[in-house]
Structure 1
């Protein structure tokens, strides 16, 4: 196809061609107009905000649970926006497990890699923001994002650019840190390495997890109100220049769902699904962070699995989505299958769909520890009195290591170093007891605290965006005033 434009008029005509597959296929978003109408009309009548809880990944279902339940109790209108970037049954069971399906107003159906997901979010949220503005121009709609998913980063600018309303970031201020001793990883004995993590100097190291550290940092910049899990997170936000009056420490967002699942038994026990887990004490191992899927690190992790199994450790390795691709790419799948066939102390499973099963196992006598690169699991193990071993060079929950001492970093330098640390923890009963008895860091009634603060902001007439003259307290605008642009 020949293209003519102003370039040709300036520099002469030349034949150029459109690249193939330039524009990816984009699925349409779907909306529940009746549900949207009822929430928006309620907000208009009662002069309240509408909270838009934006769900990104599998953990979002249970991390948002407390806030959604308390919003409903408080009579605050809300919408659930599901990105639907994870769309198979293994990753979306939370919709049913936490009774969120019937409350979901928008399904974004985003697909593709990080760049495509980001672009789709911008386009689809622009449409949604405009639709709500056109139908209900006086109603403030505030997106609520949490943690460090790609939605956490992209939703705030998409919404702000479209409506001049900034977001709320829950679980704000997650900034990765590393102990200084990490520079000697693999060069010293396990006991000394652990001691320096617990008692030595730490520093910021925000390279990983990627893109999660980028996501959470960008999200804070695009959000008006910030809710931090701990005082350390608040200090990070203050250092970065966020206004103190817009930051609250409310605790860990996983707490409410965790407490719910401690009281509820799943319909079918995880030990019925995997009877093998009833034999002895197991390490539940899940790896999915991109940094750990790089060649040397992933080879070290898979090698450590083999060595731990050979040494008699009971290992349950969970195949996460990214892990599945890495196993196929590096050709390790058949090795792990063979390891499982030959050894009763190795269980190779898919993702456990229900959060209830994860909690049931972690609480049981058959769980020795978690070996993970997840952020949320580091919090969960602190709350469930079990040792956490974090397979990373840094952590965005450093308080679990240098404050609570319920967590130990296990950097995948090589397979032997991973084995040495795991073996040391396994053999040191006093260390296990102290990790299990660690102080709990993440509070209680998190959703109730969050919604109580939001209710106060609504009652005080606060808005999720301020011009400089408003931030300085000089005067407030009665209306946006820029509709003509």
Structure 2
């Protein structure tokens, strides 16, 4: 496996860093959400004249998934692709090899320039690349979205039998291994980072309890807020209703499930049964199929169950052509609410004031449930529990989402906030380099 490098783009960044005696910040695009979230940071770094190199892990090669790079105008800024593919362990091994190649390349190119990885969230890339980079170079990373931890009710058995809304009053605990492996990825990423960029105060407090120094933590907001505000003002060339005319009639529940823990056979069976029952009762449901869902249906041989749901009236779509289509639909009059297991979508829909139910027993955005109340957990315990949770949201939305205009949690101009933090951090990196050179 070899990494792909556009030498002219890389050299231009390193020449700029050398002329100005500053480090290179290596912004890492790991997955599609990184394209969406990091776009405003890339732009802000350019505006604030910070030497930034944009690289891609290669993890998402599907054209529909990676269209976000073009949509947010950062695809042409990518200078290096690490070409990471395969299973979790294959990716880990490939990442180690890619980092070794990259470190050697940078040393040959500019031995006196420090390169600082900037990674986002809880991906496998955000976990492994900073660890391997630290081992290879001794340089720590910058962690965007630091301090997120999956929280949830301590005992879901106490919330069955019509007690779903009591989740906002019961004790919540940290589910440290959930979701797998992201729950551990985000913890390990911060361990090898020297600047921790927390979205909100809750995340900062988490990091302080874990022993991180307050001087290394900045509260900057969430880049999701930048992304949705930027793209919600744009109009796709074809509207979502041009692509799918049936969505222009009535109210729809948008469903998408893609997380590993929700793609087991029992959960998929429970989910399909609950959605089938709702469709038989004449509720409009559109299920957007991620690649992980398609593979799980094939693996567990559940095609007949999906077909039964179709016959009942559930509409299944392949991935929608554009991120703008998602925003256009969820903010439009035909979206009743969204039921998803996405983490980033909880932030995005909160920012847009769109109601959401989360198909998980815990969430790394507990503030959307407990503070803004724009979200509610409806875990896939069984088909009856899923059905009753969705039916409650249909029948009594004012109880599920009691605040019509929740306080915006995730800030604005977040890319600019982060770029400002990087500007301040440059001096600390310079001191680190001087100390290493002194030995």
Q: TM-score, normalised by structure 2?
A: 0.96
What do residues 1-56 of structure 1 show as CA deviations (whole Å, max 9, x unaligned)?
xxxxxxxxxxxxxxxxxxxxxxxxxx321100000000001000011221111111
Give the SS at the match of 1:371. strand
Q: How big is the shift at 1:318?
A: 1.2
Aligned to 1:354: 322
- Tell me whether 1:41 sits opposite 2:9 in the alignment: no
- Tell me whether 1:197 sits opposite 2:167 in the alignment: yes
Q: How big is the shift at 1:481?
A: 5.0
Aligned to 2:366: 398
Match of 1:103 among 58, 77, 85: 77
Structure 1 residues 203 and 421 mapped into 2: Cα distance closer, same or farther (>3 Å)? same
Query: Could you list the runs of 5+ residues in structure 2 that have no partner in the other structure?
Result: none
Match of 2:112 among 135, 138, 142: 138
- Tell me whether 1:251 sits opposite 2:208 in the alignment: no
RMSD: 1.7
Distance in 1 between the 2:99 and 2:336 partners? 44
Q: Is the 8 A contact 2:374 2:401 kept in 1?
A: no
What do residues 254-292 of structure 1 show as CA deviations (whole Å, max 9, x unaligned)?
111111111111111111111111111111111111111
Give the SS at the match of 2:232. helix
Q: How big is the shift at 1:252?
A: 1.2
- Tell me whether 1:410 sits opposite 2:378 in the alignment: yes
Match of 1:445 among 395, 400, 413: 413
Aligned to 2:287: 317
Aligned to 2:429: 463
Structure 1 residues 321 and 464 mapped into 2: Cα distance closer, same or farther (>3 Å)? farther
Distance in 2 between the 1:433 and 1:406 partners? 6
Match of 2:356 among 381, 388, 396: 388
Q: How big is the shift at 1:321?
A: 1.6
Aligned to 2:189: 219
Q: Is the 8 A contact 1:181 1:193 kept in 2?
A: no
- Tell me whether 1:480 sits opposite 2:403 in the alignment: no
Q: Is the 8 A contact 2:357 2:376 kept in 1?
A: yes
Distance in 2 between the 1:55 and 1:333 partners? 34
Structure 1 residues 107 and 465 mapped into 2: Cα distance closer, same or farther (>3 Å)? farther
Q: How big is the shift at 1:464?
A: 8.1
Give the SS at the match of 1:317. strand
Aligned to 1:84: 58
What do residues 330-381 of structure 1 show as CA deviations (whole Å, max 9, x unaligned)?
22234324533x35x5220112242111111111111111101110111111
Alignment of 1:268-279 (within 5 A): 268-279=238-249
Alignment of 1:325-344 (within 5 A): 325-337=295-307, 339-340=309-310, 342-343=311-312
Aligned to 1:295: 265
Give the SS at the match of 2:388. helix
Q: How big is the shift at 1:181?
A: 4.6
Give the SS at the match of 2:402. helix
Aligned to 1:188: 161
Distance in 2 between the 1:465 and 1:155 partners? 23
Give the SS at the match of 1:128. helix
Q: How big is the shift at 1:220?
A: 0.5
Give the SS at the match of 1:105. strand
Q: TM-score, normalised by structure 1?
A: 0.87
Distance in 2 between the 1:450 and 1:85 partners? 25
Q: How big is the shift at 1:101?
A: 2.0
Aligned to 1:12: none
Aligned to 1:472: none
Q: How big is the shift at 1:435?
A: 4.5
What do residues 455-481 of structure 1 show as CA deviations (whole Å, max 9, x unaligned)?
1222xx211896xxxxxxxxx944435
Q: How big is the shift at 1:298?
A: 2.2
Structure 1 residues 225 and 200 mapped into 2: Cα distance closer, same or farther (>3 Å)? same
Task: Give the ranges of 4+ consecutive aligned residues of structure 1 lying more than 3 Å apart after TM superposition.
Answer: 476-482
Give the SS at the match of 2:223. coil
Give the SS at the match of 2:353. coil
Give the SS at the match of 2:387. helix
Distance in 1 between the 2:417 and 2:108 partners? 33
Q: How big is the shift at 1:111?
A: 1.1
Structure 1 residues 33 and 428 mapped into 2: Cα distance closer, same or farther (>3 Å)? same
Give the SS at the match of 2:271. helix
Q: Is the 8 A contact 1:165 1:465 kept in 2?
A: no
